[in-house]
Amino acid sequence: MAKKYILDGVNYGRNLDAYISNNFQYWEFVSSDKAVRLGIKNVPTNAEWKNIEDLVKNVLQPMRDLLGKAITINSGFRCEELNMAVGSSNTSFHRLGCAADIDSDTIPLMDILNAVYGLPKWTEIIAEYFPNGWVHVAYKAGDNRKMLKLKDPTHNFKGVSKEYLDKLYGGK
């Protein structure tokens, strides 16, 4: 399980210990060691919380059910200040509460990617710094374009096919 990095005394707009679904809690999506170190209040609006809930219900929990093992949320929602602090794009789905970077100590990254890829609804999957990085997953209601990308060590993104990733990293 990921470590909980939350600022004390901040109203996050939700009971962070409550469960969004069977396996995911609210705190997992606002937890950030960088935000705590820099004193950044990483607090979603109600609309952004709704996007987080949609991501969990449409992608993350169905994926978790398929895999049957724990998934770690490394990065979820990012307020504008935190997003700038980590050097991410202003158009990142993390800004909207529509994305999470995930991995697992017990599940190969390609298995995680394959589980999400096989779901009926998702917006974006990025294989980031494979084979030892993480899987970025995004879901925005009404946006089912299913963009599959690879991010390399030099921070370049390129659209790829599932077959291409299977050849590079082994897949089903």
Q: Which residues of 67-94 are buried (b: 16+ CB within 10 A; e: fewer)?
A: beeebbbbbbbbbeebbebeeeeeebbb
> How many domains does the chain fold into?
1
> Is 156 a member of any domain?
yes
> Is 1 a member of any domain?
no
> Is 3 a member of any domain?
no
Three-class secondary structure of residue 151 per DSSP: strand
> Is 10 a member of any domain?
no
The DSSP code for 101 is E
Q: Domain range for residue 97?
A: 26-169
Task: Report whether 24 contacts 12 (CB < 8 A).
Answer: no
121-144 tens-digit pLDDT:
999 999 999 888 999 999 999 999
73-108 tens-digit pLDDT:
999 999 999 999 999 988 999 999 999 999 999 999
> Is 4 a member of any domain?
no
CATH number at residue 145: 3.30.1380.10
> Is 81 a member of any domain?
yes
- pLDDT class of 154 with cuts at 50, 70, 90: confident
pLDDT at residue number 128: 94
> Is 21 a member of any domain?
no
